[in-house]
């Protein structure tokens, strides 16, 4: 009898623990999940999409990049062909950031229509790319290559 | 030629393991001990064959034999030999070859060491090992075949992934990880052997696998720390842990294995938690396979994921087999695993271990759920989400702090009974030091509760665990008149498991201090500089001297020379670079780090003008980060101490009666 | 051995395995393309690699999407620097050849590359049965929301994007899609949406 009672007691304790754990996890996930959206999807959310952590995926719209290397201030538009969103980011972009490049930016979309980015990732198109002529660093950075190495 | 040798060895090994795995159970069931010898022979033969195959692949890599598909995929004539050799594990197929080889090695060693043991436990363990080996052979002749012919034979290849050939730690982290990951198959095999042979009620499987478990745990610990270090030195964001699925995959089995190392002591001493320990070990192995599945199948989005193919379906099938068979066996055997002892006192060593296990298990589930949630969310609601650092930090910080606290209390509590008045003397010094640590953190400016608690409990645990060494050694000094050094070494070698554990605890304290300090007091700044201009971060001034470029054999390098100033004097020269590999469309940022005991100056070159007139650098002050790597070393030292054989009583010791049993295993 | 308990425990593995099996049919890195089901962006690009036999279009010819109404179009974006493109090359070339004379047009689009390198690559790979066009400045790639190469778009006879495939295609995938699109064109049925047909084919893999 006592064996049985301890068994049920233990089961109840485990049940309570599991429920408490599940509730904690649910709360944690609910407030910390980052949605992965394209500009079109984010715009479709309207006001609901404002000020929530979002990963925005798309391409850098050609001709939209404005980079101030002294203020470390970067603005560009991300497009998915169906919608576009202006992104504002602080800090230097990755060296291969360029027009038409696939990017994923993480940050929040403000009600002013500007996406404030906290991190900017360039999407690798593939593992392997032989640079075309003129893209090789030795061509692009000729003057640097000649400067004395320390 | 090389290709055929390598491939045929795997095919023959596949046949041999399949034969062993099928005929082995027949032999054991019929009680034919003479046939079991053939089972063992299959394990040894497999090891020889896989070794031949692995060496052949390495030879193919080094001799640039581009007729082998794997060499054509990752090889390049320009790559230095060191990186050519380690590209063995740089891509999916090679990593499976390496895995199979490590597993074959473990299997052969386990069987050789235990070949004379009576009973069916070892034969069944050998069969389990063969089944796992068989799975990897199937991968190697199927979806992950690195030995496919390439025609026409290319003259040169693209070389390994640039990120993987940019740092020497790439030669250290993966082998350690495989040694740890794969090694956990051994205790799993013993657990399966125990269940299949019916020898599950006694502790033999635990005793036979103890050193294997500890060694695997040590390798896994070292691998995780080395992985953090690699990530810190290479990726350029100045952090070492991002809760990426690949990192989580190595961390999950570590959590359950660490829980097991503690709870198994309760079983050995008190005959409790038998079913639980079996579950932990089986779960640990399942998590290693699950982790491999997650990272190799491309099912979860990750920065590090390998390229994908059909291999995911094979892994899924294997996970299915493992899950179904282990759940079936463990549940089926649960009747035999009743506890012998009971919890006698609410505040005893056992309670500390139980709480430890509870926290580690909750920790594991938290990380597992966070890792799998994107998959669940997409399945259930069709939305693409990612679970980022905030979730993991919020959920796991309380657990980490609680575990840090337990690590200090546990060693001070006695087995079986409630602690007596001596507890105060053990805990009080620790508490004082802990409060000092916490006060220092408060003065340094943190108001984060977890940070303060982490410093408090780190100081506390450090003193309690060091205190165990001091108390034991000073008792010897008084009793035997030994010098402190002799007393300490005899103390440790007389009870290696216990003091190995305390050593590991001290290592954890160092890691915790490094993590707490660097995540609380890290300061960073980006700046665009002209030559001669300076930037100051956390009181450290850095001056930009010049930008430069140079050609190297396999890459081109653009760098910035920065001087770490101490007044007018140059304290150190730091050169962050960007490496351009011909096979990548992106340069690989190569941060440069200057380590000091107080912390690191971490520089990353972010951008530069084409003519070198300005550069943009990120400067990070990373307090106490080297302590993490130091702590990792101490953790491994703890594992080594625990593995070494116990000292036989030395001649000098014989005169005195051996220390009372209370001085062995865990009793303070 | 407690068989009942053992069997119940073993059964609990099913949902986990089911979830993973489902997960394998998805590509977590893919970003949903807004294109499937919509009008395909039109283009007019010059042929630089003519193709072979019946499928040949002379180099310098301009291919206009608007001229291809009424045929199924398979648009494969590729580059000479792309490794995965090597994997799918033979399959695509063979499948295209086997559809010669039927209302389907295979077209390679060179992405971020120069035609000379593309021609050399085709020669190295042993030829390409269908023509390839150059996309200077990647304008068309941007219109199609390309994330990388290879990516293959399947356009139905009415000029809508029916499917998009990320990563290398296999012969089975291409055949399945081309066949179903040609069948749809024959029955003049509304173009199938991505979801219902993709699910019917286990080999379709990472289809969106």
- Do the beta carbons of residue B608 and residue B560 sit within 8 Å? yes
Q: Cβ contacts (< 8 Å) between B161 and chain A: which residues?
A: 127
More confident residue, B97 or A79: B97
- Would you place residue A141 in the very low, low, confident or very high pLDDT band (cuts 50, 70, 90)? low
What pLDDT digit, counting tens, does each position of A51-73 carry?
888 888 888 887 888 888 777 78
Q: Name all contacts of B8-11 with Cβ < 8 Å and 24+ positions apart.
A: B9/B49, B9/B50, B9/B52, B9/B53, B9/B56, B10/B49, B10/B50, B10/B53, B10/B100, B10/B137, B10/B140, B10/B141, B10/B147, B11/B141
| Residue from A35, A100, A136 to probe the interface with C (highest C Cβ count within 10 Å) | A100
Closest among B179, B2, B169, B177 to B82, alpha carbons compared: B169
Separation in Å, CA B10 to CA B16, B68, B372: 10, 15, 34
Rounded to the nearest angstrom, the gap between the alpha carbon of residue A3 and the centroid of all alpha carbons in its chain is 55
Q: Which residues of A touch C31 (CB under 8 A)?
A: 36, 38, 57-58, 80
B contact test, residue of C2, C3, C4, C6 with most B CBs within 10 A: C6
Contacts of B484 (CB under 8 A, 6+ apart): B473, B477
Least confident of A89-103, B321-335, B413-427, C137-151: A89-103
- Contact in structure between C36 and C193 (CB atoms under 8 Å): yes
Q: Report the candidate in C78, C87, C88 with the shortest Cα–Cα distance to residue C112.
A: C78
Neighbouring chains of B at 3+ CB pairs under 8 Å are: A, C
pLDDT at position B656 is 42
Q: To the nearest whole angstrom, how far is the Cα of B612 from the nearest Cα of chain C?
A: 27
Q: Which site among C39, C142, C143, C149 would you substitute to test the A interface, given the most A Cβ atoms closer than 10 Å to its Cβ? A: C142
Give how far B282 is from chain A: nearest CA, Å.
21
**Residues contacting residue B659 through CB under 8 Å, at least 6 positions apart:** B494
The predicted pLDDT at position C140 comes to 86
What is the CA angle A50-A51-A55, rounded to 5?
Answer: 90
Q: Looking at residue C199, what is its pLDDT?
A: 33
Residue A74 contacts residue A89 (beta carbons within 8 Å): yes
Residue B562 pairs with which residues in a beta bridge?
B544, B574
Q: How many whole angstroms separate alpha carbon A107 and alpha carbon A89? A: 9
pLDDT at site B421: 82
Supply the pLDDT for residue C32: 54
- In a mutational test of the B interface, the residue from A69, A101, A134 whose CB has the highest number of chain B CBs within 10 Å is A69
**Residue B239 in tokens:** 């952090």
Contact between chains at C81 and B329 (C-beta distance less than 8 A) = no
Mean pLDDT value across residues C70-84: 86
Question: With bands split at pLDDT 50, 70 and 90, how would you rate the model's confidence at C3?
Answer: confident
Task: Express each pLDDT in B590-600 by its tens digit.
Answer: 899 999 999 99
- What's the CA dihedral at B272, B274, B275, B280 to 10 degrees? 110
B586/A96 CB distance under 8 A:
yes
What pLDDT shows up at residue B303?
53
pLDDT value at position B301? 65
Among candidates C128, C104, C146, C102, which has minimal Cα distance to C49?
Answer: C128
Confidence (pLDDT) at B486 = 92
More confident residue, C173 or B359: B359
Spans of chain B, pLDDT less than 70: 298, 301-309, 583-586, 647-668
How far apart CA C132 and CA C78 sit, in angstroms, is: 9
In angstroms, what CA-CA distances link C1 with B245, B330, B332, C5, C11?
A: 37, 10, 5, 9, 17
Q: Does A70 touch chain B (CB under 8 A)?
A: yes
In B142-203, alpha helices (H): 173-183, 185-197
The confidence score (pLDDT) of residue B461 equals 96
pTM for this model (two decimals): 0.82
A: neighbours with 3+ CB pairs under 8 Å?
Answer: B, C
Query: What's the pLDDT score for residue C177?
Result: 86
The pLDDT of residue B80:
87
B455 or C202: whose pLDDT is higher?
B455
pLDDT(A138) > 80: no
Residues C17 and C135: beta-carbon distance below 8 Å: no
Banded model confidence at residue A91, pLDDT cuts 50, 70, 90: confident
Task: Please report the pLDDT score of residue C201 as a whole number.
Answer: 36
> Residues B131, B132, B133, B139: what is their CA dihedral angle, to the nearest 10 degrees?
110
* Range 57-86 of A in CB contact (< 8 A) with C: 57-59, 62, 79-83
Given A80, A126, A132, which is nearest C84 (Cβ)? Answer: A126
Q: What residues of chain B, 466 to 495, have a C-beta less than 8 Å from chain C?
A: none
Q: Which of A40, A59, A132 minimises the CB distance to C114?
A: A132
> With contact defined as beta carbons under 8 Å apart, do B559 and B577 qualify?
yes
Confidence grade of residue C1 (pLDDT, cut at 50, 70, 90)? confident
- Please, which residues 36-95 of chain C have a Cβ atom closer than 8 Å to chain B? 81, 83-84
């Amino acid at each position: 009898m006592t064996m049985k009672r301890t068994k049920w007691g233990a089961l109840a304790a485990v049940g309570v623990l599991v429920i408490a754990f599940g509730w904690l996890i649910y709360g944690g996930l609910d407030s910390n999940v980052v949605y992965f959206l394209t500009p079109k999807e984010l715009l479709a959310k309207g006001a609901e999409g404002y000020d929530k952590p979002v990963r925005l995926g798309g391409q850098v719209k050609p001709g939209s990049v404005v980079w101030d290397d002294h203020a470390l201030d970067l603005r560009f538009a991300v497009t998915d062909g169906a919608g576009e969103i202006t992104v504002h980011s602080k800090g230097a972009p990755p060296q291969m950031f360029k027009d038409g490049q696939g990017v994923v930016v993480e940050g929040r979309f403000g009600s002013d229509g500007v996406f404030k980015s906290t991190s900017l990732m360039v999407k690798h198109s593939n593992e392997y790319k032989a640079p075309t002529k003129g893209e090789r660093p030795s061509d692009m950075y000729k003057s640097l290559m000649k400067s004395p190495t320390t | 030629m090389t290709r055929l040798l390598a491939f045929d060895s795997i095919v023959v090994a596949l046949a041999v393991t399949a034969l062993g795995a099928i005929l082995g159970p027949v032999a054991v069931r019929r009680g034919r001990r003479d046939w079991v010898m053939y089972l063992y022979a299959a394990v040894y033969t497999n090891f020889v064959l896989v070794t031949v195959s692995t060496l052949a692949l390495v030879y193919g890599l080094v001799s640039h034999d581009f007729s082998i598909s794997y060499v054509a995929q990752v090889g390049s004539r320009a790559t230095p030999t060191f990186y050519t050799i380690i590209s063995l594990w740089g891509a999916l197929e090679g990593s499976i070859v390496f895995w199979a080889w490590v597993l074959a090695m473990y299997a052969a060693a386990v069987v050789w060491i235990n070949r004379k043991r009576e009973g069916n436990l070892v034969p069944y363990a050998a069969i389990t090992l063969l089944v796992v080996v068989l799975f990897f052979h199937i991968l190697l002749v199927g979806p992950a075949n690195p030995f496919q012919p390439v025609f026409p034979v290319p003259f040169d290849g693209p070389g390994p992934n640039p990120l993987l050939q940019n740092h020497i730690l790439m030669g250290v982290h993966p082998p350690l990880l495989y040694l740890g990951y794969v090694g956990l198959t051994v205790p799993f095999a013993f657990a399966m052997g125990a269940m299949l042979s019916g020898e599950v009620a006694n502790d033999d499987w635990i005793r036979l696998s103890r050193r294997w478990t500890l060694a695997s745990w040590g390798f896994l610990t070292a691998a995780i720390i080395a992985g953090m270090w690699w990530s810190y030195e290479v990726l350029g964001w100045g952090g070492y842990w991002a809760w990426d699925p690949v990192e989580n995959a190595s961390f999950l089995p570590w959590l359950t294995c660490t829980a097991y190392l503690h709870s198994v002591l309760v079983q050995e001493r008190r005959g409790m938690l038998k079913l639980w320990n079996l579950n932990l070990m089986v779960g640990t192995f399942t998590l290693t396979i699950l982790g491999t599945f997650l990272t190799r199948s491309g099912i979860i989005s990750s920065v590090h994921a390998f390229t994908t193919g059909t291999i995911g379906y094979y892994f899924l099938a294997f996970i299915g087999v493992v899950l179904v068979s282990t759940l079936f066996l463990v549940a089926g055997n649960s009747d035999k695993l009743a506890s012998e002892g009971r919890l006698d006192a609410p505040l005893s060593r056992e309670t500390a271990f139980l709480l430890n296990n509870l926290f580690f298990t909750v920790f594991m589930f938290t990380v597992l759920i966070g890792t799998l949630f994107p998959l669940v969310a997409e399945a259930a609601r069709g939305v693409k989400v990612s679970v980022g650092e905030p979730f993991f930090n919020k959920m796991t910080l309380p657990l980490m702090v609680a575990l840090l606290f337990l690590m200090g209390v546990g060693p001070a509590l006695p087995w079986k009974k409630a602690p007596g008045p001596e507890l105060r003397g053990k805990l009080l010094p620790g508490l004082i030091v802990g409060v000092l640590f916490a006060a220092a953190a408060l003065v340094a400016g943190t108001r984060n509760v977890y940070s303060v608690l982490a410093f408090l409990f780190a100081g506390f645990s450090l003193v309690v665990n060091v205190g165990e060494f001091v108390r034991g050694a000073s008792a010897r000094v008084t009793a035997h008149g030994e010098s402190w050094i002799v007393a300490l070494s005899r103390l440790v070698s007389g009870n290696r498991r216990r003091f190995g554990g305390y050593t590991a605890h001290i290592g954890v304290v160092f890691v915790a201090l490094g993590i707490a300090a660097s995540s609380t007091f890290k300061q960073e700044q980006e700046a665009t500089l002209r030559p001669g201009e300076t930037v100051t971060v956390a009181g450290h001034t850095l001056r930009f001297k010049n930008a430069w470029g140079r050609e190297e054999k396999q890459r081109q390098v653009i760098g910035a020379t920065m001087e770490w100033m101490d007044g007018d004097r140059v304290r150190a020269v730091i050169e962050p670079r960007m490496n351009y590999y011909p096979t990548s469309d992106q340069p690989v940022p190569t941060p440069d780090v200057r380590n000091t005991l107080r912390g690191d100056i971490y520089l990353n070159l972010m951008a530069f003008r084409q003519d070198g007139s300005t550069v943009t650098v990120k400067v990070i002050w990373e307090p106490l980060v080297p302590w993490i790597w130091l702590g990792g070393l101490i953790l491994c030292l703890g594992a080594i101490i625990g593995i070494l054989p116990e000292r036989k009583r030395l001649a000098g010791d014989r005169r005195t009666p051996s220390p009372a049993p209370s001085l062995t295993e865990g009793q303070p | 051995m407690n068989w009942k308990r053992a069997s119940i425990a073993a059964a609990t593995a099913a949902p986990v395995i089911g979830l993973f099996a489902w997960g394998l049919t998805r590509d977590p890195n893919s970003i949903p393309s807004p294109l499937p089901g919509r009008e395909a962006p039109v283009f007019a690009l010059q042929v630089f690699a003519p193709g072979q036999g019946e499928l040949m279009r002379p180099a310098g010819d301009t291919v206009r999407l608007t001229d291809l109404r009424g045929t199924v179009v398979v648009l494969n974006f590729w580059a000479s620097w792309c490794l995965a493109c090597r994997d799918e090359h033979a399959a695509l070339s063979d499948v295209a050849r086997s559809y010669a004379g039927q209302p389907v047009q295979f077209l390679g689009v060179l992405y971020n590359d120069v035609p000379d390198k593309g021609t050399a690559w085709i020669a190295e790979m042993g030829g390409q049965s269908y023509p390839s066009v150059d996309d200077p400045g990647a304008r068309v790639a941007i219109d199609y929301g390309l994330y990388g190469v290879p990516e293959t778009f399947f356009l139905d006879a009415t000029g809508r994007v029916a499917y998009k495939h990320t990563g290398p295609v296999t012969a089975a995938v291409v055949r399945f899609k081309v066949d179903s699109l040609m069948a749809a064109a024959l029955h003049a049925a509304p173009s199938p949406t991505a979801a219902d047909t993709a699910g019917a084919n286990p080999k379709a893999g990472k289809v969106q």
